[in-house]
Amino acid sequence: MSFIGDEQFEGGNKEKRHREKRRDGSKDRRKRANAKRRERSRADRENEEFEERLVKREKGRRGRVKNDQEAKKREQEEGAGAQVKSGKTAKVKKNIKNEKRRMSEKAGEAGERTEKGKKRVESAKKETATVKHGTRDKTREERKKKRKKVFETSSEHKTSEQDSEDKENSEDKEVKPESLSPDELEKLKEAVDEKKKLIQSLRGKPWPMKKKLVTLRESQQFLEKYEGALGKGKGRKLYAYKVMMTKKWMKFQRDFENFKTACIPWEMKIKEIESHFGSSVASYFIFLRWMYGINMILFGLTFGLVMVPEALMGRPYGSIPRKTVPRAEEASAMDFAVLWDFGGYAQYSVLFYGFYSNQRAIGWLKFRMPLSYFLVGVGTVAYSYMVVIRTMARNANESGVGDDNSFNFSWKMFTSWDYLIGNPETADNKFASITTCFKEAILEEQESRKDDNIHLTRFLRVLANFLVLCCLAGSGYLIYFVVRRSQKFALDGFENHTWWERNEVNMVMSLLGMFCPMLFDVISTLENYHPRVALQWQLGRIFALFLGNLYTFIIALMDEINVKREEEKIVKFNITMWEASLYNGTVSENFTASPITIHPADVPRGPCWETMVGQEFVRLIISDTMTTYITLLIGDFLRAVLVRFLNHCWCWDLEAGFPSYSEFDVSGNVLGLIFNQGMIWMGAFYAPCLPALNVLRLHVSMYLQCWAVMCCNVPQERVFKASGSNNFYMAMLLVILFLSTLPAIYTIVTIPPSFDCGPFSGKNRMFDVIRETLESDFPAWFSKVFSYASNPGLVLPFILLMVLAIYYLQSTSKSYKEANVELKKKLQMQNEENKKKNKKAAQKALMDLEEARKVALESAGHQRNNNASFQGQEARDREMEQATRVPRPSNHMSHRTPGYLPNFPLQSEAMIRRAPSLQRH
């Protein structure tokens, strides 16, 4: 929630003012509504005693509206149906009568009213009794009638006490389950379910609100009325209870949904950007937010299960050598320069691997620290895999069959406008880009037949790729060279070197990451690709560059690890010598001395390669973050300021000419983010503070970049749409995740941990902690089972089985795809055939219609006085018209269904029938 607070603050006074206003407004509104209600109720209480009546009256009013509409509809239908059932017509007439009666009611003739009401209820009862048996259609009708009766009766409520008693009797009869046969009950249940479905699907219907409101109220009323009648005997109360609970649950869910959307941080910020720059720039920020969420969870895991327990329950600082700054470094351990490099006190803290002790259980909780450390390391990676893959799968589901290219033009036409654009400048750019897009598409279509000078373009493309490869190799070598050089410096000791020499590696990596993409951009102009293809190439190359740099860095780091391990061996040997000498010395001096106390800072210790790796990664992240922010400030902000203010006194137009304002580079930023995350995954095992740092970084860059994009960037000239590339980013993230866990796993599995630092010290391998736990914390049989299970004889078949399962799933998915294509073809064929058939049928029907008209005219001429036959004729005409329309199912929506217009009430019967079919979609 704190994010929202921040965001509101950032959003400025305007937003706040609006909100306040809104709050005030709603208060006022509420007050006024209450006052009104009070007034109304006071007036009502003169006639009625119970509050609930009021509600029922409202319903009655609504019901009346509905009845009104139905009556109209019936009137129309009456013209159409020659063989309208007598009951139906009677009812229509009755309805009209009711309407009239109600009008007079309003005038206030109380005495008459009650009598009539009674009569009507009785007649209605009779009616239901007569129609109660019959076919399905009839029961449906009957159901409707019943409903209507309910409306009538409920509207009756307000009239008088007597009347309400009367009504209650009738209601009891209706609701009593004993009075309904099981068959009817079943049907009633069906109707109730249908209504429920209708309510649920209502929001997905393209109807005007008025119609939706009416339908909703009507069906809710129906539900209220009949849901109680469904349960049988003892189950009835339970049923009612269940219904009530589902209602409550729905409401809760809705509120929870509202709450959830209110909790999404930076929503308004992103929407603002979205409306200014279109969805592509916003997609970067959404991606950033998603990353932030993941890092929050990683941070929570490492912070809650590793750092805090060690800090609270582990041995305090200075108790053992690994938790103490060595004597030699003590003097400079608090210097800012040292701390900034994560040396000194920072190095000997919970931030790094080396600080953790190898006690099996710490504190009064007996918290298994080494085990927790290991499991958190594995868990963060596993969680990341899970999230990335799940998101990918969801995206793939959403985009559906996005790869088929058969609707290229239509998509350009129908879906190219980004409705979110609210900035005139962006809109202009969008117009231009759509136009060029159309022109390009047309040209492509023409060019696909002829291609000129293919040799030149081929040559240029090969040349470009060669140049890019040279760049990649050069940058890789440069990094390797720099890392090796820095190792030499490290052996000499950092103090003798300048700042540049100390930070060479990180600076070189950041600078390469900054300038190589520009170089690639220049090279890619040689290739003359379509912009989208060019963008993909560009992305691929930057990806390769980053990856190459990262891996060179890792290889160099591996070298360094080996060096450190050599060093460690020597130190280990020295320590045994040192201990022996110490022991011997004390023995010779004083035999009865208690165990010698040496200050932990004086104990010689090994180099602890794990902490070194962690430090390297932390430094890399810090320098990367700094470079990003500084380029943002210089490249975007300073440039924008210069262009803006120097424009008055410059020889050419700076804003339109050369430097101009910068665009927001979505792909570059996304790649930067992805690689940053890769480094986090790689280093998090050796430096538990990395996720925390990353959360901080992402948080800052969210605000900084939002600000930068709004204040100093111009909308892109080519406004790309984002969603298509969404899974592309995810795929890259997955690749990076895999590639970054590889080295981490390699080091964990193959290299023995340092002997005197970290939670796994003293063990042969880091994963031995699992075995140890199994042996000492679990019963014997468990470890036995585990050892059997981890036997290669079992593991290998299992892997084989998995491979087989994958193969099977893949082949089935392939066959599904093929079936899909087949079905598509079939569908198209059928469509065409249907169309032909329909055309024939339509023509035939048209001819029939003409004939019928002739006949009708003739008959009209012959027997003018016989109205009935004429009506029958017209009814037949109508049927024919319907027949011509019915077999065109594809058109049933595009015909401007009469429901659009407020004058035409909807047909509720048709609605009920249509509800399940809509559900299926």
409-428 binders of another protein (CB under 8 A): 409-411, 413-424, 426-428
The interface with another protein within residues 66-95 (CB under 8 A) comprises none
List the one residue from 584, 831, 843, 863 that touches another protein (CB under 8 A).
831
Q: How far is the CB of 723 from another protein (least distance, A)?
A: 4
213 vs 580, beta carbon nearer another protein? 213
Residues 716-735 that bind another protein (CB under 8 A): 721-724
Considering the complex, state which of residue 15 and residue 527 has its C-beta at the smaller distance from another protein: 15
- Cβ of residue 543: shortest distance to another protein, in angstroms? 22
| DSSP per-residue letters across 392-430 | HHHHHHHH-STT--TTHHHHHHHH---TT---HHHHHHH
Q: Which stretch binds another protein (CB under 8 A): 58-66, 233-241, 457-465, 538-546?
A: 58-66
Q: Tokens 């309910």 identify what position?
A: 150
Q: Which of 47, 253, 399, 866 touches another protein by CB under 8 A?
A: 399
Taking the least distance from each CB to another protein, the nearer of 438 and 480 is 438
Residue 42 or 920: the one with the smaller Cβ distance to another protein is 920
The contacts of residue 37 (CB under 8 Å, 6+ apart) are: none
Q: Could you tell me the CA-to-CA distances from 30 to 20, 108, 644, 875 in Å, in that order?
A: 15, 32, 50, 53
Strands 713-714 and 662-663: parallel
**Whose CA is closest to 285, among 701, 890, 821?**
701
From the list 237-245, 255-263, 326-334, 560-568, the region that binds another protein by CB under 8 A is: 255-263
Count of positions (residues) in the chain? 921
Neighbours of 420 (CB within 10 A): 16
Q: Nearest distance from residue 279's CB to another protein, in Å?
A: 6
Which residues within the stretch 202-241 sit at the binding site for another protein (CB under 8 A)? Answer: 202-206, 208-210, 212-214, 216-217
Smallest separation, CB 72 to another protein (Å): 16
Task: Determine the interface stretch with another protein among 137-145, 695-703, 799-807, 825-833 (rule: CB under 8 A).
Answer: 825-833
What's phi and psi for 766, nearest 5 deg? -70, -35
**Shortest Å, Cβ 424 to another protein:** 5
For 262, phi then psi, to 5°, come to: -70, -25
Please, which residue, 166 or 274, has the CB nearer to another protein? 274
Query: How many other CB atoms sit within 10 Å of the CB of residue 638?
Result: 12
Give whichever of 528 and 723 is closer to another protein, judged by the CB atom: 723
- The structure tokens listed for 80 are 């159409």
652 burial class (0-12, 13-18, 19+ CB within 10 angstroms)? Answer: exposed
Amino acid, single-letter form, for residue 776: S
Contacts of residues 808-811 at CB distance under 8 Å and 24 or more positions apart, as own/partner, are: none
Select 69 or 347, whichever has its Cβ closest to another protein: 69
Please state, in angstroms and rounded to a whole number, the distance separating the CA atoms of residues 326 and 711.
49
Binding span for another protein by CB under 8 A among 169-177, 257-265, 601-609, 619-627: 257-265
**Lookup result for tokens 């080519």:** 718
Q: Looking only at residues 434 through 453 of this chain, which bind another protein when binding is defined by CB under 8 A?
A: 434-435, 438-439, 441-442, 445
Residue 18 beta carbon to another protein: minimum distance, rounded to whole angstroms: 7
The residue to which tokens 């390391």 are assigned: 377
| Least distance to another protein, CB of residue 620, Å | 35
CB of 853 to another protein, least distance (A): 25
The set of residues, in sequence order, having a beta carbon less than 8 Å from that of 701 and lying 6+ positions away, is: 288, 625, 628, 629
List 254's β-bridge partners, or say none: none
Cβ closest to another protein, residue 613 vs residue 912:
912
DSSP 633: I
Query: Residue 623 or 897: which CB sits closer to another protein?
Result: 897
Query: 662 - beta bridge partners?
Result: 713
From the list 56-64, 490-498, 735-743, 771-779, the region that binds another protein by CB under 8 A is: 56-64
CB of residue 540 vs another protein: minimum separation in angstroms? 20
Q: What are phi and psi of 714, to 5 degrees?
A: -105, 155
Please identify which residue in 114, 128, 275, 773 interacts with another protein, judged by CB under 8 A. Answer: 275
Cβ contact 151:64 at 8 Å: yes
Cβ burial of 429 (10 Å; 0-12, 13-18, 19+) is buried
Single residue of 83, 86, 397, 406 touching another protein by CB under 8 A: 406
Note whether 404 binds another protein by CB under 8 A: yes
Distance CA 274, CA 418 (A): 10
Touching another protein, residues 862-901 (CB under 8 A): 890-891, 893-896
Q: For the CB of residue 916, give the shortest distance to another protein in the complex, in Å.
A: 15
Number of residues located near another protein, criterion CB under 8 A: 92
83 sits in which H/E element:
none
Distance in Å, CB of 902 to another protein, minimum: 6
- Closest approach of another protein to the CB of residue 917, in Å: 12
Using the contact rule CB under 8 A, the part of the chain among 381-389, 407-415, 470-478, 557-565 near another protein is: 407-415
Nearer to another protein, 415 or 790 (CB): 415
Which residue stretch of 171-179, 398-406, 483-491, 710-718 sits at the interface with another protein (rule: CB under 8 A)? Answer: 398-406
Q: How far is the CB of 418 from another protein (least distance, A)?
A: 5
Cβ burial 271-297 (10 Å sphere, 16+ → b, else e): ebbbbbbbbbbbbbbbbbbbbbebbee
Give the span between the Cα atoms of 298 and 380, in whole angstroms: 6
Nearer to another protein, 419 or 652 (CB): 419
* 441 vs 526, beta carbon nearer another protein: 441
The answer for residues whose C-beta is within 8 angstroms of residue 222's C-beta and 6 or more apart is 147, 150, 191, 192, 195
Of residues 669 and 727, the one with the C-beta less far from another protein: 727
Does residue 323 contact residue 348 with C-beta atoms inside 8 Å? yes
Nearer to another protein, 213 or 802 (CB): 213
By CB atoms closer than 10 A (0-12, 13-18, 19+), residue 471 is buried
Least separation in angstroms between CB 11 and another protein: 13
State whether the Cα torsion 62-65-71-75 is positive or negative. negative
- Is the Cβ of residue 18 or residue 100 nearer to another protein in the bound state? 18
Nearest distance, CB of residue 433 and another protein, angstroms: 10
- Return the number of the residue (721 or 784) whose C-beta is nearest another protein: 721
Please report, as residue ranges, which positions from 493 to 522 form the binding site for another protein (by CB under 8 A).
none
Residue 608 Cβ vs another protein, minimum distance, rounded to whole Å: 49
Q: Restricting to residues 149-188, name those near another protein by CB under 8 A.
A: none
Q: Of the two residues 269 and 541, which places its CB atom closer to another protein in the complex? A: 269
Q: How far apart are CA 308 and CA 775, in angstroms?
A: 27
Nearest CA to 222 among 148, 155, 157? 148
- What sign has the CA pseudo-torsion 691, 695, 697, 701? positive
206 vs 793, beta carbon nearer another protein: 206
Q: How far is the CB of 497 from another protein (least distance, A)?
A: 52
Instruction: Please tell me whether residue 360 adopts helix, strand or coil conformation.
Output: coil
- Min dist. Cβ of residue 626 to another protein (A): 34
Site for another protein in 733-792 (CB under 8 A): none
Task: State the binding string over 648-687 for another protein (x if CB under 8 A, else -).
Answer: ----------------------------------------
